[in-house]
Amino acid sequence: MTGATAASGNRASDRKLTFILGGARSGKSSYAEKLTTANPSPWTYIATAQAYDDEMRERIALHRSRRGEGWVTVDAPLDLVGAIGALPNHEPALIDCLTLWLTNHMLA
């Protein structure tokens, strides 16, 4: 698993971006959640997964149960740009997962 961080100094929001890479089910989401919760709440979890089958419903339920108080979940299987644009400035957000978001567009 790899994390890379960059500051977006030319934006009004001046958000920090951390991109986490790793294999399937390697702990990327839980690692990202820990990084996010190191900041003051509220935290926004932008979810791109869609519950197409029982396995995915179970995975989504596991992710939801792992997150505790302070999380706001935004479902954005296709409109990730809109979800990001609606975020309040300087509030931590986690986008999970860009691969699923791209797959959703390929299947749409």
Question: Which of 60, 81, 3 has the alpha carbon at shortest distance from 36?
Answer: 3
Q: Hey, how many other C-beta atoms are within 10 angstroms of the C-beta on 42?
A: 13
Catalytic residue annotation = 63
Give the ranges where the chain is alpha helix by DSSP (H).
28-36, 54-66, 80-85, 98-107
Contact call for residues 80 and 103 (beta carbons, < 8 A)? no
Tokens of 62: 């596991």
Residue type at 17?
L
